[in-house]
């Protein structure tokens, strides 16, 4: 076998081993978000409604917020003892905490201990993820030749989206196999428990890997950093690059990513009221079509540089989000549709409230529209025996299933948003790796990455939902549904200005310390 | 371009405290509403707690920028 063929085989083994583990970590992390509405019902009091969802989103966000701390802890470890063992450890922590979430009894069984345990395990998940990505990206980059670094590291970039894809796939499969009722009752635990099998597989693969050649060389020569944290964040030459990476690239990349994938899903499910399974298959198709573009833009960044591809992705996001989300609202708005009145069905049932004399009146209305859409409204009213009156505010649940044409419109528009994600995210691993020297690379690149993605990006669903809540008033009870987009638009705009003016389009020819010239060019 | 980066450095330097001031103002305003709950206070506490170090980072970035740390050699 020629040396080139051996190298090629070697690099693909490195990419596979790194990617599979990282994909599983993302899977573990995302099943929580994908099941937010069910988790809200399981771990919070039943009568909390949107407050429970907001609390779940807050716990979801907590997992993101601690990621920078994971980056510091495990980044330091990775620069001290090596990449391989550090990201083995993060994998075990992630798998263990995900498995444990699947075992926690619900709020009815153990009360407030349930959300507290979920929060604790979610924090461990966040810490583990904070240590994982930097290690995987660094590991692959340190095995890659300069002219293909963007291409090879972009495979790691696909794992985040594929992790979401696998999580949605397993959730939908489990739900359709066992039925909605059983799934909402206890079946939602299965995707969490499945994680343990995936983690064992990944640990087996990763144990076979060797340490990064650049790190091994440094270690052999006794040149590894003795205090990576101090070296990364107290030396001006390095700190200024950490800040530039955060404010000029990762901050904008983070909000574009989380808007395109997570806010889009949350918006079509909670604001547009698209039915559970349909909202998820829309996202699945969009992800399936868009994922190859991570590699396309990663490879293009080797040719044209990283900067302009990322900046273009942010620019398109800034200008397209509001029209796209307005269109989502328009095509699911009943006022814009023609109902086939003859097909309307109304069903009314009355049941007694357990242990009380009051009655629950459930009215289910199903409307069909000429574009193939089907809207289902379930109104639950309580009739109080003592007063002979019904509740002032009945509980109304709306589920919309759109017709074929609008289904594909959703897919195309979410595909476009994920395409923007691939533009900003595909080249970013190579970009970050090239900013920092080997001896402190794991620590230095992990922190801005996880602040940008974990804090700025991870908070997109939470802050956007919060902004919408604040626009609600007695005159406007639904609030302004597009108001939440101002958060990602403003953050991406600031990042675009900083990135355009301050970043160079330079591709570092070699990421070895002694030949790293990027920092010295500034 | 280097001159523009230095001038904008002042803007980033001021933007850090401006963002914090805005968040604190909003937090006080929202939490003094009669409808506010302890949950609101917690949410705003978390948001401000997270963004304090980031705002400080932005100020340091602005300071470096103003001092020419990001100037490119010709």
Least Cα separation, residue B69 to chain A (angstroms)? 7
State the Cα–Cα distance between residues A42 and A215, nearest whole angstrom.
46
> Rounded mean pLDDT of A173-177?
92
pLDDT of A177 higher than 90: yes
Q: ∠A284-A285-A286 over CA atoms, to 5°?
A: 90
Per-residue confidence (pLDDT) for residue A388, from 0 to 100: 66
Least Cα separation, residue B21 to chain A (angstroms)? 17
Beta bridge partners, A364, equal A347, A378
Strands annotated E in A369-418: 374-383, 395-401
> Rounded mean pLDDT of A436-447?
85
Strands annotated E in A264-373: 345-352, 359-368
- pTM, rounded to two decimals: 0.85
- Contact at CB, B47 and A463, closer than 8 angstroms: yes
Pairing, β A374-383 against β A395-401 = antiparallel
**Which member of A61, A240, A521 has the closest CB to residue B69?**
A240
pLDDT of A50 higher than 60: no
Q: How confident is the model at residue A331 (pLDDT cuts 50, 70, 90)?
A: very high
Of residues A42 and B11, more confidently modeled: B11
Least confident window among A143-152, A167-176, A469-478? A469-478
Q: What is the mean pLDDT of chain A?
A: 86
> Rounded mean pLDDT of A276-282?
92
B71 near A CB under 8 A = yes
State the Cα–Cα distance between residues A465 and A179, nearest whole angstrom.
30
**Which member of A58, A236, A240 has the closest CB to residue B43?**
A58
Per-residue confidence (pLDDT) for residue A517, from 0 to 100: 45
Q: How confident is the model at residue A283 (pLDDT cuts 50, 70, 90)?
A: very high
Q: How confident is the model at residue A293 (pLDDT cuts 50, 70, 90)?
A: very high
Per-residue confidence (pLDDT) for residue A152, from 0 to 100: 93
State the Cα–Cα distance between residues A235 and A159, nearest whole angstrom.
33
A490 near B CB under 8 A = no
**Which member of A51, A236, A522 has the closest CB to residue B39?**
A51
Beta bridge partners, A457, equal none
> Rounded mean pLDDT of A388-393?
67
Task: State which residue of chain A sits closest to B29, comparing Cα positions.
Answer: A470
Non-local CB neighbours of A311 within 8 Å, separated by 6+ positions: A496, A499, A500
B63 near A CB under 8 A = no
What percentage of chain B's residues is helix, strand, coil (to nearest 5)? 80, 0, 20
Interface of B with A in 13-42 (CB under 8 A): 30, 39, 42
> Rounded mean pLDDT of B56-67?
96
For residue A428, give Cα distances in angstroms to A237, A247, A329: 21, 13, 32
For residue A509, give Cα distances in angstroms to A147, A233, A465, B57: 7, 25, 43, 29
**Which member of A455, A501, A502 has the closest CB to residue B50?**
A455
In this predicted model, what pLDDT tens digit does every residue of A83-136 receive, in sequence order? 888 878 888 888 899 899 999 998 888 888 888 888 888 889 888 888 888 888
For residue A489, give Cα distances in angstroms to A167, A416, B58: 28, 16, 18
Q: How many CB pairs under 8 A join A and B?
A: 53
Angle of helix A428-435 versus helix A113-141 axis, rounded to 10:
70
State the Cα–Cα distance between residues A277 and A169, nearest whole angstrom.
10
């Amino acid at each position: 076998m020629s040396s080139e063929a051996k190298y090629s085989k070697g690099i693909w083994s490195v990419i596979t081993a790194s990617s599979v583990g990282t994909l599983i970590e993302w899977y573990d992390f995302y099943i929580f978000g994908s099941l937010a509405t069910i988790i809200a019902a399981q771990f919070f009091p039943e009568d909390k409604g949107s407050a429970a969802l907001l609390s779940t989103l807050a716990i979801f966000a907590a997992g993101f917020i601690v990621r920078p701390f994971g980056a510091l802890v495990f980044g330091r470890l990775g620069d001290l003892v090596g990449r391989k063992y550090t990201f083995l450890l993060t994998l075990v922590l992630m798998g263990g905490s995900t498995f444990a979430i699947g075992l926690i009894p619900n709020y009815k069984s153990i009360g407030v201990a349930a959300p507290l345990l979920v929060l604790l395990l979610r924090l461990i998940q966040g810490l583990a993820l904070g240590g994982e990505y930097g290690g995987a990206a660094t590991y692959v980059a340190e095995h890659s030749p300069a002219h293909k670094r963007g291409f090879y590291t972009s495979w790691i970039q696909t794992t985040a989206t594929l992790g979401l894809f696998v999580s949605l796939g397993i959730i939908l499969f489990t739900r359709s196999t066992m039925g909605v009722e059983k799934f909402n009752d206890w079946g939602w635990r299965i995707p969490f428990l499945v994680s343990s099998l995936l983690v064992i597989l990944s640990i087996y693969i990763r144990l076979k890997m060797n340490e990064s050649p650049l790190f091994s060389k440094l270690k052999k020569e006794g040149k590894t950093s003795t205090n990576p944290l101090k070296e990364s964040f107290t030396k001006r030459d390095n700190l200024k690059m950490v800040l530039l990476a955060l404010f000029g690239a990762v901050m904008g990349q983070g909000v574009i990513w989380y808007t395109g994938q997570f806010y889009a899903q949350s918006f079509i499910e909670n604001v547009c009221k698209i039915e559970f399974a349909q909202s998820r298959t829309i996202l699945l198709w969009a992800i399936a079509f868009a994922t190859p573009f991570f590699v396309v833009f990663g490879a293009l960044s080797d040719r044209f540089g990283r900067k302009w591809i990322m900046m273009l992705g942010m620019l398109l996001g800034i200008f397209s989000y509001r029209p796209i989300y307005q269109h989502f609202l328009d095509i699911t708005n009943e006022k814009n549709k023609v109902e086939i009145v003859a097909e309307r069905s109304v069903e009314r049932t009355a049941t007694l409230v357990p242990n009380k004399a009051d009655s629950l009146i459930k009215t289910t209305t199903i409307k069909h529209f000429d574009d193939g859409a089907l809207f289902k409204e379930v109104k639950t009213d309580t009739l109080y025996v003592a007063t002979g009156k019904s509740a002032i505010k009945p509980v109304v649940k709306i589920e919309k299933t759109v017709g074929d044409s609008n289904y594909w419109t959703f897919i195309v528009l979410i595909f476009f948003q994920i395409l923007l994600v691939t533009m900003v995210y595909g080249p970013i691993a190579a970009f970050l790796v090239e900013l920092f020297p080997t001896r402190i690379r794991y620590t230095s690149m992990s922190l801005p990455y996880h602040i940008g993605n974990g804090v700025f990006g991870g908070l997109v669903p939470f802050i956007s939902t919060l902004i919408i809540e604040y626009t609600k008033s007695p005159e406007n009870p639904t609030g302004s549904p597009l108001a939440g987009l101002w958060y990602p638009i403003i953050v991406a705009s600031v990042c675009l200005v900083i990135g355009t003016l301050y970043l160079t389009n330079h591709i570092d020819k070699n990421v070895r310390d002694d030949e790293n010239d990027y920092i010295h060019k500034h | 371009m280097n001159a523009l980066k230095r001038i904008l450095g002042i803007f980033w330097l001021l933007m850090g405290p401006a963002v914090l001031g805005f968040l604190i103002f909003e937090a006080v305003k929202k939490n003094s509403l009669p409808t506010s709950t302890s949950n609101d206070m917690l949410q705003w506490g978390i948001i401000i707690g997270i963004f304090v170090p980031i705002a400080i980072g932005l100020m340091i970035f602005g300071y470096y920028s103003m001092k020419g740390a990001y100037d490119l050699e010709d």
